[in-house]
Amino acid sequence: MFTGHDAPEAWNDGQAPSPDSLLPLPVRVGRVRRETADVATLELRPASAFAFAEGQFNMLYMFGLGEVAISISGDPAEEGRIVHTVRAVGAVSSAITRLRRNQVIGVRGPYGSYWPVAESEGSDILIVAGGLGLAPLRPVIYHVLAHRERYGRVVVLYGTRSPADILYGGELEAWRRRLDLDITVTVDHAAADWRGNVGVVPAMIPRVPVDPGHAVAMVCGPEIMIRFTVDALRQRGLAEDRIFVSMERNMKCAIGLCGHCQFGPAFICRDGPVFRYDRIASVFSIREI
Amino acid sequence: MQGLERIVLDQPFFAGLGPEFGAAISGCARNLRFAAGDYLFREGEPANEFYLLRQGSVALELHSPGQQPLVVATLREGDILDGSWLVPPYRWTFDARSSELVRVLGVDARCLREKCEADHDLGYELMKRFAGAMGERLRAMRLQVADVYGPRRS
């Protein structure tokens, strides 16, 4: 049985968090890459080494505007930079996507639980991402590819709105050329010149080439997509303790104090964002939560 | 068992179907091949034949005058193309274009409808399978229409 990962002990032992954990550190922006019309990937250059686990997030602070929780989308093996992929949604995230090289942003973190990459060794890996949900799963792909011999079949299913909304296009192309990785990109709609797949991610689950009894699924995307995907995974025969999902709510403090991200008995920021599905199944479909 | 009957019964869509039903369906069936870019059918045309995809992929398209067609679904090996042949007015509701070399099992719709009328067990069996497949496709379409990756609704 998979136990999954809890958030680091310091945030789970009932003690008050360190004051430092609320202090954003100024970090200079390095390269900025426009992924789509409203999504940018920023490489931040911290003054000292920055370590994180796959699936964790940082609080990014635009001075004078506010703070948002953003997943870390870079390679966990690279400690000299922090990579975030941000969609312009509100005032803060829009300002972040407009940042330029050498400008400064506040960073505190990393926070939260993480994907079970170590515990999944020996298993088939099924990564299911929807839209911007590919960002917190990209560190898993980096890790699995760096230690490819430790895993069985590795399948990535990525669904997004249209071909113009595909993230990390160059990397996806490079990964697709590998013989040890099965990648399918599907979009909700496309013009006739699109050579890829059109359809939704859950509908593709029945065909994915993994052994349901020996596979671990990691799912991130809009909650509707997660719900339908989990249903499809269960129908495919994956046990609920082999399905991991990354949840999203309005996170403010990131240390389990303010209650903005309460999800039943859990706080997404402290106990998540990555949850083993069987641990949240009882509250997952409660509409009021 | 004849070759075509074997092919019919080997299709996932017909899994578990009795040999007598397999014989009835294969009696109306033929193998067909379409080159990349060929249209298997177009919206509004009579649905005289139903197709089961054996190899390759097919784009279901919606056309709009003066614009590029919009691809709404990609169908792959093992998929049925549509259920328009089964219910009046027996006309296709999308364009179906092969994205690559495609091999299909084509089943004469009138021939099979007549067999379904004569043998309601066969008709019910097929109706259950088509209803299941069409239901799955409808659920997928609902997710597409929901535009879950688009701007968040408040």
Cβ A155 vs Cβ A209: under 8 Å: yes
- Residue A93 has a pLDDT of 95
Tokens of B26: 């294969």
Of B99, B144, B152, the CB nearest to A195: B99
Alpha helices, H only, chain A: 91-97, 138-146, 169-176, 223-236, 268-271, 277-284
Domain that holds residue B43: 29-146
**pLDDT tens, residue by residue, A152-176:** 999 999 999 999 999 999 999 999 9
The CA-to-CA distance between both ends of chain A, in Å, stands at 28
| Domain map (residue ranges) of chain A | 15-111, 124-284
A190 neighbourhood in chain B, CB within 8 Å: 70-71
Whole-prediction pTM: 0.89
B143 neighbourhood in chain A, CB within 8 Å: 188, 200, 202, 224-225, 228
- Residue A261 has a pLDDT of 83
Q: Is the ipTM of this complex over 0.90?
A: no
Residue B36 lies in a domain: yes
Residue B13 lies in a domain: no
Q: Domains in chain B: how many in total?
A: 1
Residue B97 lies in a domain: yes
Compute φ and ψ for A124, nearest 5 degrees: -70, 145
Cβ separation of A189 and B71 shorter than 8 Å?
A: yes
Nearest CA in chain B to A159: B149
Give the Cβ contact number of residue A213 at 10 Å.
Answer: 11
Mean pLDDT by 10 residues, chain B (154 residues): 84 91 94 96 94 95 88 94 90 94 96 95 94 92 89 66
Domain boundaries A124-284, CATH class: alpha beta
Interface of A with B (CB under 8 A): 89, 130-132, 159-161, 165, 186, 188-200, 202-203, 207, 221-222, 224-225, 228
What is the C-alpha to C-alpha distance for residues B35 and A92, in angstroms, rounded to an integer? 51
Residue B134 lies in a domain: yes
- Look-up: residue for tokens 């399918």? A184
Residues 6+ apart with CB under 8 A from A276: A2, A3, A4, A116, A240, A241, A243, A244
Residue B154 lies in a domain: no
Residue B137 lies in a domain: yes
B76 neighbourhood in chain A, CB within 8 Å: 207
The C-alpha of A66 sits at a distance from chain B's nearest C-alpha, in angstroms, of 20
- Look-up: residue for tokens 């990109």? A185
- Look-up: residue for tokens 């509409």? A287
Does B118 reach chain A within 8 Å, measured CB to CB? no
Sheet holding B58-62, edge to edge: A190-191, B70-75, B58-62, B95-98, B39-41
Residues 6+ apart with CB under 8 A from A140: A54, A55, A115, A117, A125, A127, A218
Which CATH number fits the domain that encloses residue B92? 2.60.120.10
Residue B92 lies in a domain: yes
Confidence of residue A228 (pLDDT cuts 50, 70, 90): very high
Nearest CA in chain A to B76: A197
DSSP H or E run through A61: strand A57-62
Cβ separation of A197 and B149 shorter than 8 Å?
A: no
Confidence of residue A270 (pLDDT cuts 50, 70, 90): confident
The CA-to-CA distance between both ends of chain B, in Å, stands at 60
**pLDDT tens, residue by residue, A28-48:** 999 999 999 999 999 999 988
Q: Which CATH architecture has domain A15-111?
A: Beta Barrel (2.40)
Note the maximum CA span of chain B.
60
Phi-psi region of B91 (alpha: psi -120 to 50; beta: other; left: phi over 0): beta
Residue B81 lies in a domain: yes
Cβ A81 vs Cβ A162: under 8 Å: no
Cβ separation of B140 and A192 shorter than 8 Å?
A: no
3-state SS assignment for residue B98: strand
Q: What is the count of residue pairs from A and B with beta carbons less than 8 Å apart?
A: 72
Cβ separation of A131 and B149 shorter than 8 Å?
A: yes
**pLDDT tens, residue by residue, A39-73:** 999 999 998 889 999 999 999 999 999 999 999 99
Nearest CA in chain B to A227: B143
